[in-house]
C-alpha cells in the first residue's frame, strides 16, 4: 500500500495540519492575530506520521484590532517592532493555504483539518481572519478539528502541553514556549507520538465491518463537504 493511500485512509480523507497562533487577547473577532505557524505532516511506508516542515509568520495587527497589554506581556510580543518582519493576515494565510493545499493533494486527501492544543481557540482566530480578509475558500474544515489537549488526556493523563510532552519523552523548553513556531512543532511532535503509539499498540487499523461503505457513511461525507 502506498504512502498516499495510507494517509488518505488514516483520517477518512482529512489531511491534518498542526496550527498555533499567538494573539493579543482571547476574542477572535476583536483581538489581533500576531503570529501563526503551520506544521505539515507526512507518513512513512509503515503508516507512521512524521513532521515534514513548518511555515511561520509574524502578523501585522489588522486595522482597529484590540491589543490587550496583559496578553502582550504574557507572550512577549511587541506588535510594532520593525524587526519582526510582520506581514498582513492575508499574505500569511495565502502562503499557508497554498502549502497546505499542495501537501493535502500529495497525501491523497480531499480536505484539511486543524490539529491544535486547545483547538477551539486557534480555530476561532483562523476562521475570524479568513472571514475578515474575505478569503472565499479555506482548505480547512470550518468546524472539525483534532484537539491534542483531549488526545493527551486520553493517552498520557496530561492536558498541559509542556507536561504532555514530558510524559511522551519530548523535550520542552518553557523559555521557548508561547512562540507560535515553537509551540506548533512541539504540538506536532505530540500529535505524531500519540497517533504512532496507538498504531504500535495495534489500535490501527481497526477491525473491518461489513457496513464500512454503507450509504450512511457516504451521506456523512457529503454533509461534511456541504458544511465546510
Q: Which residues are catalytic?
A: 178
Long-range contacts for 76-83 (Cβ within 8 Å, ≥24 apart)? 76/178, 77/22, 77/24, 77/34, 77/35, 79/24, 79/32, 79/34
CA distance 36 to 130: 13
Contact of 161 with 64, CB cutoff 8 Å: no
Residues paired with 112 in a beta bridge: 15, 140
Alpha-carbon distances, residue 142 vs 112, 127, 174, 225 (angstroms): 10, 7, 31, 10
CA distance 57 to 68: 20
Element (H, E) at 112: strand 111-116
CA distance 19 to 119: 8
* φ and ψ of 189, to 5 deg: -60, -40
How big, in percent rounded to 5, are the helix, strand and coil portions of the chain? 45, 20, 35
DSSP state for residue 87 in the 8-state scheme: B
Amino acid at each position: 500500500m502506498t504512502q498516499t493511500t495510507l494517509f488518505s485512509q488514516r483520517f477518512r480523507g482529512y489531511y491534518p495540519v498542526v496550527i498555533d497562533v499567538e494573539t493579543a487577547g482571547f476574542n477572535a473577532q476583536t483581538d489581533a492575530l500576531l503570529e501563526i505557524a503551520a506544521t505539515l505532516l507526512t507518513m512513512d511506508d509503515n503508516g507512521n506520521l512524521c513532521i515534514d516542515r513548518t511555515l511561520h509568520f509574524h502578523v501585522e495587527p489588522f486595522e482597529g484590532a484590540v491589543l490587550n497589554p496583559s496578553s502582550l506581556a504574557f507572550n512577549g510580543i511587541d506588535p510594532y517592532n520593525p524587526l519582526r518582519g510582520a506581514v498582513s493576515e492575508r499574505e500569511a494565510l495565502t502562503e499557508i493555504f497554498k502549502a497546505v493545499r499542495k501537501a493535502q493533494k500529495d497525501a491523497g486527501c480531499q480536505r484539511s483539518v486543524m490539529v491544535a492544543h486547545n483547538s477551539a481557540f486557534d480555530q476561532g482566530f483562523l476562521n475570524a481572519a479568513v472571514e475578515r480578509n474575505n478569503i472565499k475558500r479555506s482548505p480547512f474544515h470550518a468546524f472539525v478539528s483534532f484537539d491534542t489537549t483531549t488526545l493527551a488526556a486520553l493517552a498520557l493523563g496530561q492536558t498541559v502541553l509542556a507536561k504532555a510532552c514530558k510524559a511522551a519523552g519530548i523535550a520542552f523548553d518553557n523559555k521557548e514556549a508561547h512562540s507560535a513556531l515553537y509551540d506548533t512543532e512541539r504540538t506536532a511532535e505530540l500529535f505524531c507520538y500519540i497517533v504512532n503509539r496507538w498504531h504500535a499498540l495495534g489500535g490501527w487499523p481497526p477491525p473491518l465491518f461489513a457496513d464500512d461503505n454503507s450509504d450512511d457513511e457516504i451521506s456523512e461525507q457529503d454533509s461534511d463537504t456541504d458544511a465546510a
